[in-house]
Amino acid sequence: MTTASATTATLRVPGARLYYEVRGDGPLVALVGAPMGAAAFQPLAELLATDHTVLTTDPRGIGRSPVDDPEQDSTPPLRADDLSRLVAEVDAGPAIVLGSSGGACTALAFAQAHPEQARTVIAHEPPLDDLLEDRDALYKGTDEMIATYLSGDAVGAWRQFMALSDIRLPDGALEQMFGGERDPQDVADEHRWFEHELRETVHWRPDLAALRTVRSRIVAGIGEDSAGELCDRATRALAGAIDIEPTLFPGGHTGFADDPKRFVVRLREVLAESS
């Protein structure tokens, strides 16, 4: 099916059916989130599609990508295998991959498992708790917030998440974002993320030796407004571990969605420098 700006399709992979969108023409760029799906990247994808083939997708178990077993956990290596199959299906690789948040973990797992398919991998603020000295406290906090969510207190769980992530929001923002009537699909995606994706993502430890072998193709991206936040610390730990310098992007943790016009300018600069 074709929309005004994208061709949409599904791909059957082991254990899931992946929804994906393709825009534009030129070198392949895959925009990857977890749990963010294709819709979160649409504005950025449209900006890039003027001179790139842009692949976006709903990760397994999220949005329009149903899984065979709803109890199966979503791990970075599993999502990286999905990405590898999507890149092969689109047949325009090797790919530039921009992964953000949990999608940055997906992108790193992709780089170490499928280096032949990776031209450049931009890991934008991966929550790599295992690389930090306070990992045990972070793991404990993660378990507590998941328990809070599963008890039925979504706002309380998000409050714990923001505190653990060192992200500060205006008073009342959480109640506005996660309280009251909400879209059923958003709630279903949120529930899956808390129960079957969050823990597996933040506990994942990349193969640092494997990443060092392809470090010339890896960019450790950090939002300019993320200083001191958990993902700022984790991304700097990754950069130090594989001996590269962090690269700053506009905005904070979700800068790609908050101001895609500013973000794409910096992204194009980074791609030009890495080509």
> What is the CB neighbour count within 10 angstroms for residue 58?
23
Residue 4: pLDDT over 70: no
Cβ 94 vs Cβ 116: under 8 Å: yes
pLDDT tens, residue by residue, 195-218: 999 999 999 999 999 999 999 999
Class of domain 7-132+204-274: alpha beta
pLDDT band at residue 24, thresholds of 50, 70 and 90?
very high
Q: Report the amino acid identity of residue 185.
A: Q
User: Which residue, 64, 62, 80, 63, is CA-closest to 14?
Assistant: 80
**What is the average pLDDT across 125-143?**
98
> Which are the contacts of 89, defined by CB distance < 8 A and separation ≥ 6?
11
pLDDT (tens digit, 9 = 90+) per residue, 33-65?
A: 999 999 999 999 999 999 999 999 999 999 999
pLDDT value of residue 2: 44
Q: Domain locations in the chain? A: 7-132+204-274, 135-196
pTM for the full model? 0.96
